[in-house]
Amino acid sequence: MRIGLFVPCYIDAFHPEVGVATLELLERFGLDVAYPRDQTCCGQPMTNTGCHAESAATEELFVRNFTGYDYIVAPSGSCVHHVRCDMDAVEQTDDVRQVRARTYELVEFLHDILKVDAFPWAEFPHRVSLHNNCNALRGLNHASMSELREPAFSKPADLLSKVRGLEFVHISRPDECCGFGGTFSVFEKGVSEKMGYDKVRDHSSAGAEYVVSADSSCMMHQQGCAQRLEMPLKFIHIAQILNGARA
């Protein structure tokens, strides 16, 4: 099984440790993982702003980089959601369709494809609050949604429940968007910040030491908000915990 590792630009530049954890974690399962050197981005920032035409060349590059892999895996629900559900600026050739269908977010890859039942190396003796990115939650079905009448499930919580010592805390508005929203975080900075403050206060009053998420972009926003409010809240990507990070 040949895996193409997609490391979104945020993670590449600001949270390289998340890319490293993802790579090492996949390697622990004996997978053949390659990182195509010419990758940049999936095109979401432009499409998110309505500029599909401006996104086409970036999407084309993405497909060129990842054609031929059995699976493409990325530690970002938001970017994977773009590739799978919204990557429509590029002409839909067979390669494009195949790359889109084979692109998985790390949690769903571990949960649905590898069906991992243990992370013997993982131990995280902390109280954590799980943040689901909205695209991962409502676009990729990471978990059941509070708005719908459906049986409760959570793929990220399933995986984290296999980590020794980890204790979940539950916030009052688990499915509420944190206010990042890509370009929204700047176009509507007032609302975005207020949503972020409310979110980190919710984590904090639930007693969380760590916020864990499958998306670095939401956490970058929330971390910025928590630091501004001088809260001792810490943030960690799910890939790092599953790869054995202790703190």
Partner 1 sequence: MSGAQGGDLNRNPPRPDRLDHAEGASVPLRSHVREAQPRGAVINGNHPIDQAEAAERFIAAPEHERMHDARLWDLRQKRDRQMHGIAEWEDLRRLASEIKEHALTHLDHYLEQFEANARANGIHVHWAQDADEHNAIILSLLRDHSVKRLIKSKSMLTEECGFRDFMAESGIEVVETDLGERIQQLDDEAPSHVVVPAVHKLRSDVAAVFARTLGTDPDDDDVHYLTEQQREKTRPLILDAQAGLTGANFVVAETGTFVVCTNEGNADLSANTPSLQIASIGIEKVIPRLEDLPVFVRLLSRSALGSPITQYTSHFRGPRRGGELHVVLVDNGRSERLGMEQFWTSLKCIRCGACMNTCPVFRRSGGLSYGATYAGPIGLIIDPTFNRHRYSSLPFSSTLNGSCTNVCPVRINIHEQIAGWRKVLAETHELPLMKKVMMREAGHLLSHPALYRAAIATADSALKHLPRFMVYNRLNTWGHGREVPAPPRQTFHEWYAKNRPTGQGEPT
In terms of Cα–Cα distance, which of 236, 216, 205, 189 is closest to 76? 216
Smallest distance from partner 1 to CB 125, Å: 25
Q: Choose the stretch contacting partner 1; rule: CB under 8 A; options: 92-100, 111-119, 151-159, 185-193.
A: 185-193
With CB under 8 A as the contact rule, the residue among 26, 31, 61, 238 that binds partner 1 is: 61
| Contact positions with partner 1 (CB under 8 A) in 109-128 | none
With CB under 8 A as the contact rule, the residue among 194, 207, 246, 247 that binds partner 1 is: 194
Residue 77 binds partner 1, judged by CB under 8 A: no
With CB under 8 A as the contact rule, the residue among 97, 164, 173, 246 that binds partner 1 is: 173
CA–CA separation, 194 vs 109, rounded Å? 33
Residue 95 binds partner 1, judged by CB under 8 A: no
Adjacent-strand bridge partners of 211: 129, 235
Adjacent-strand bridge partners of 127: 167
Per-residue buried b or exposed e for 68-103, using 16+ beta carbons within 10 Å of the residue's own CB: ebebbbbbbbbbbbbbbebbbbbeeeebbeebbebb
Q: How many CA atoms lie within 13 A of 190 on its CB side?
A: 0
Smallest distance from partner 1 to CB 156, Å: 17
Residue 50 binds partner 1, judged by CB under 8 A: yes
